[in-house]
Structures are given as C-alpha cells and as structure tokens.
Chain A
Amino acid sequence: MAILYILQVIYINREIAMATRFTKSMARNIFFGGSLFFFLLFLALTFDTNQKLPKRDNSQNLTASVIHGKKLWETNNCIGCHTLLGEGAYFAPELGNVYVRRGPDFIKAWIKAQPTGAPGRRQMPQFNFTEQELEDLVQFLKYTSEINTNNWPPNIEG
C-alpha cells in the first residue's frame, strides 16, 4: 500500500516534467495527505514497538544503581568519545558490550588508572569516581549489555 503510494508520487512527478495538468494545489494536497498518512503509520509502529519493548529492553533490571550509573554516564559526557550501542563519538571503543568484553573489575581499574599519559596516545580524563559510583557505572554497562540488540555488534571487539 505504502509502496503503491510512492510509485504514484513518482509517476506524478514524471507528469510534472511533462507539464501536464498536475496543479500546485494537487501537489499541496498530496503533500499534506502523504505526510499525515506516514506520520500516523510511524505513530502506529511506535505504539507497537512500545508494546514489544519489555521483552527486549532489559527494563526489569533497571535498579537504582543502574539508573544512577546512567546519570553518571550522561553527566560525564562519556558519549563525547565512546559509542554505546553504536551511537556516539567514534574516538574510543564501543561500550555497549564492554561488560562482556572486559568484565567489571577491569572496567573499574581502567577508569581509575586514567589518564595513561602515554605520549601521543589518546587520553581519557580522570573523573575521580567513588567506589560506589564505579559500581553504578558497571551496573549500567551490565544492564546495557543485556539489551536485545538483534545480535549487534558482530563480534566482541564492538
């Protein structure tokens, strides 16, 4: 149905090129009708997505610690260098699966050891987290790694 509609618009576009009786007000009506139709379709898909999310989004594990970890993730702008489920900056490793790749102890030790100060190498700032904050971040990364991402990333390297 949607495809037919697009084909029809493409056809009409050809008509314009041929300067037939396709008028501006017809074009406007197709614009309003088409945009409205596809926006409503988008809302319907969004509604359906929301129905299906609880089985996929690991929300049953949204503990107070995870929620605080997410806030730490945000207020330290981690996304400014890293990707999380592939979204963010491409300067530093993917962290959506870092819990699986490195494990909790390595993650904490790594964050505490920054910056490395190795000349010419990319540097991560020191954030001076408390032990509790480190634990919350790890819990957030654990929760993230358990979201059903349709099997992304392709391998453990992210």
Chain B
Amino acid sequence: MQYQSQAVAKPYFIAAIALFVGQIIFGLIMGLQYVVGDFLFPEIPFNVARMVHTNLLIVWLLFGFMGATYYLIPEESETELFSPKLAIITFWVFLAAGVATIIGYLAVPYATLAKFTGNDLLATMGREFLEQPLPTKVGIVIVVLSFIFNVIMTMLKGRKTAISLVLVLGLIGLAVFFLFSFYNPHNLVKDKYYWWWVVHLWVEGVWELILGAILAFVLIKVTGVDREVVEKWLYVIITMTLITGIIGTGHHYYWIGAPAYWQVWGSVFSALEPIPFFMLTIFAFNMVNKRRREHPNKAATLWALGTGVMAFLGAGVWGFLHTLAPVNYYTHGTQLTAAHGHMAFYGAYAMVVLTIISYAMPILRGRAANSNKAQVVEMWSFWLMTVAMVFITLFLTAAGVLQTWLQRISTTPMSFMATQDSVAIFYWMREGAGVVFLIGLIVYITSFFIKGETKAT
C-alpha cells in the first residue's frame, strides 16, 4: 500500500465480514420460521431474529464504509491519515457497542432492554431498523463524528479530489440524517414521516454518494481511466441520485396519513430513481471497456461490474415495480417489499463493500492481487451469492404477487395467515436459495486462505 496508515482499514474489513456471516445465519433462521413457525420459539422469537438480521446488516455496512474510507482517503489525499490511533480506538468502541447490542437483543426481552438502557429518558426504541438502545445510538453518533473528524482533518492537509469530497458529503449526510432517529413524537404520522428521513434519505440518498465514490475509486485503480472522466461521471450520477431521491421520499408517504398530493410527487420522482442506477451500470462497463491497464485483480473488477448491474436490478427495477401509487396501494407492506429490500441492499451496498474489500485486502496483505487460484474461488463465491440473491428475490416476488392477489385484489379476500399458508412453497424455495447464499459466503471466506503465486505490490 502507498501509505502506512491505510492499514487501519484491515480490522474494519475483517469485522464487516464476520458480522456479515452473523447476518446470514439469522436470515436463515427467520426464513425457516416463515414456514416452521415455532422454530427456536421461545428462545429466538421472529422479531428478535429480524432485529439481529437487519441491525447486523447496518453495522457491517457501516464497518465496510469506514474501512473503505480509511483505505481510500490517504491515497486520494496523498498523505497519511490524520490519526490512525483514533481510527483504531473508534474501531474497538464501535465493535464493542455493536456486539453488546446484539447480545442485549438475544439475552433479555426487548422491554427489559428498553427499561435498563434509558428508553424512559428518551424513547427512541422499537421502530423498524432503529431498535438500538439509547446508549448504542449515542455511541454511533460519537463514533461517526470522530470518524468524520479524522477524515476531514486528513483531507485538509492533502489533495482534495472529487471522490473524497463526494465520499465525505455522503458521510456527513449519514451522520446528520441519523439524528432524526432521536426524534420520536407521540403523533404516529409525524413519527413515521421523520423516520423516513433516516431510512430513505440514507439508502436512497446519501449512501448512494458513498457507493458512487467507492466505486469510482476502485474503477480508477483497476482500469487506469483518466480521473477527469471518472469524476465527471460521478458528479452526474449523484446529481441524478439526489434530484430524484430526495423528493422520491414521497413514495413512502402515500398511506401513512400524509396529504394525498404525495402520491403524485412520490410517483413521479421515484419513477426516475432507476436512472442514476442505470447510469452507474453504464459507467462501470464503460470504464472497464476503456481500460488502459490490465489490473491483475480480476475479482475486484467483477465485483465492481456486479455492483452496477445488481444495484440497478435491485434498487432500480425492483423499486420501480411497486413505486407508483396505484400499484403500491395493493402491494404496500407485502413480500414484494421484502424482495426489493433484499436485492437492493445486496446489489448496491453489500456488493460495493465486497468490491472495495476485494480490491484493497490483497494490497493490505502485501500483494497487488491474490493468486489466480484464490481469485477463481472468490469469483465462484461472487456467482453463488449473486445468483442465490436473484433467486431469493424471484421467490419473494412470486410470494408477494400471490399475496397481493389473494389478500388484496380478489373479490373474496383471504386473511393474512391463510394467504401465508397458500404461498408457503415460495418460502421453502427462498430458504433453499438462502442456503446456497450461505455456501457462497463460506466459499468467499475460504478464498482468503488460499495461497498461490502472487506479485508484491
């Protein structure tokens, strides 16, 4: 690696992968509970498994984003990190907080956890994805602020590139919008309205800046295409992201008590949300086609191209499927949402973190790229996980379409549970695809331990 302090990225990446494994295991538990309802009950009720599954996802992606930032900011700024020591301290604080929170979820009933962690002082818990106890939420704020401080101080003393500027803007947005997780009004409509300022403005807003910056960085490195071209693309993509995504928040405001005009604003703007993802795909393929060097790390290039395609399919196409208000009226809160959520999170965010890990990890371990043998195994894991996710999405989509029909459109609507029983076959198939995903993940981890001939960096 070019700068010694880039090494702090390594523990972040390792933690990210470890937590990823946990996420998938709990995903499989939930998937089985969908069809064998009393599996692990009362030890791990579904709501606990789901909390662990989604919270682990958020935490491992944050570890991934932070690791990516610590890796690329010194190289972009052409200077050592402002404080590697601070980066390591915040790593351990974040890991301890994350693990303690997960143990808390699993060890005691949620109401007990709320009681002993100060939820009576400031009630923030028990809202989807923001289930973390107050100390954890405060911890996240402190860790993210110290992280952003470290990054900005590094940038100030070095070169300022568009990639690092966009990345930092994304990270600042992440921190600012997280503050809305502390706002929990008694009025349910307002609670839901501002809850989306964390959730939507993260994943369909500022996180896309982080995604774009990381992808642009890796593409410059593996293709050798001129920085001017890459950064111009980056700006145009994130422009489209924010001008469609900010008002696109409206697609969550159709049925929660907000005025009906959101059906128009939300439909029009969120219908345009696939555009930046489509451009991301075109961008990735264009850069690779115009490459000026043959980088030895083929696996990283594959992940980068995969991110573009899967983000477009998952976030763009599957999002568009049910984003128009007249469609969403029937599909809102069905398995179709789950289908979209799975492929979008994997395609956009999980894959971009795996892209930067694929590119940076060999360099952090003292070689330009892994051996051919290791790369082949890694590429196998790419296909296993990605194809498994495509099938998870297809099965959930089938379940969602049927559910919508039986429960919402049919002239003799069935009850929720009767509908669930009718679509059980698709849950079984989803669980099967989930097992393949886990196999892919095991293959992925194996690839880190495969030796073979490598060139030094």
Contacts and interface: CB of A to CB of B under 8 A. Distances in A.
Interface of A: 2-3, 5-6, 9-10, 12-13, 16, 22-24, 27-28, 30-31, 34-35, 37-39, 41-42, 45-46, 48-50, 52-53, 56-59, 62, 66-67, 70-71, 73-81, 83-94, 115, 117-123, 125, 127, 143-144, 147-150, 152-158
Contacts of A76: 110-111, 126
Nearest to A57: B189
Contacts of B21: none
Given A120-B38, A152-B255, A77 B131 contact: yes
Nearest to A23: B232
Nearest to A74: B126
B131 to A, nearest CB: 7
Contact of B162 (A28, A45, A79): A28
14 contacts: A9-B236, A16-B233, A42-B246, A42-B249, A56-B258, A80-B131, A87-B256, A89-B46, A115-B41, A143-B188, A147-B188, A147-B256, A153-B408, A157-B415
A89 B258 CA distance: 21
Interface of B is mostly: helix
Contacts of A71: 123
A31 B162 CA distance: 12
A57 B253 CA distance: 13
B127 A79 contact: yes
A42 B329 contact: no
Contact of A152 (B30, B47, B329, B414): B329
A24 B38 contact: no
Interface in B385-411: 407-409
B415 A127 contact: no
A86 B255 contact: yes
Contact of A123 (B41, B250, B253, B338): B41
Interface in B113-148: 114-115, 119, 123, 125-128, 131
B95 interface: no
A10 B126 contact: no
B254 A123 contact: no
Contact of A42 (B131, B247, B279): B247
Nearest to A41: B247
Interface in B331-386: 332-335, 337-338
A53 B257 contact: yes
B243 A6 contact: yes
Interface of B: 30, 33-34, 36-38, 41-42, 45-48, 50-51, 109-111, 114-115, 119, 123, 125-128, 131, 162, 184, 186-190, 192-193, 228, 231-233, 235-236, 238-240, 242-244, 246-247, 249-250, 252-260, 262-263, 265, 268, 272, 275, 279, 329-330, 332-335, 337-338, 407-409, 413-417, 420
A79 B126 contact: yes
Nearest to A149: B255
Q: Which of A31, A70, A125 has the most CB of B within 10 A?
A: A31
Nearest to B196: A87
A139 to B, nearest CB: 12
Given A77-B110, A122-B37, A149-B256, A57 B187 contact: yes
A74 B125 contact: yes
B256 A38 contact: no
Contact of B416 (A41, A56, A66, A158): A158
Nearest to B111: A75
A28 B228 CA distance: 12
A87 B258 contact: no
A90 to B, nearest CB: 6
Contacts of A144: 188
A109 B288 CA distance: 62
A49 B259 contact: yes
A31 B111 contact: no
A154 B408 contact: yes
A128 to B, nearest CB: 10
B37 A120 contact: yes
A119 B39 CA distance: 9
Contacts of B110: 75-77, 80
B263 A150 contact: yes
Contacts of A59: 187, 189
Contacts of A87: 128, 192, 252, 256, 333
A82 to B, nearest CB: 9
Nearest to B411: A155
Contact of B334 (A78, A90, A147): A90
B46 A122 contact: yes
B273 to A, nearest CB: 12
A28 B235 contact: yes
Nearest to B240: A9
Nearest to B279: A13
B126 A73 contact: yes
Contacts of A35: 239, 242-243, 246
Contacts of A127: 111
A86 B333 contact: yes
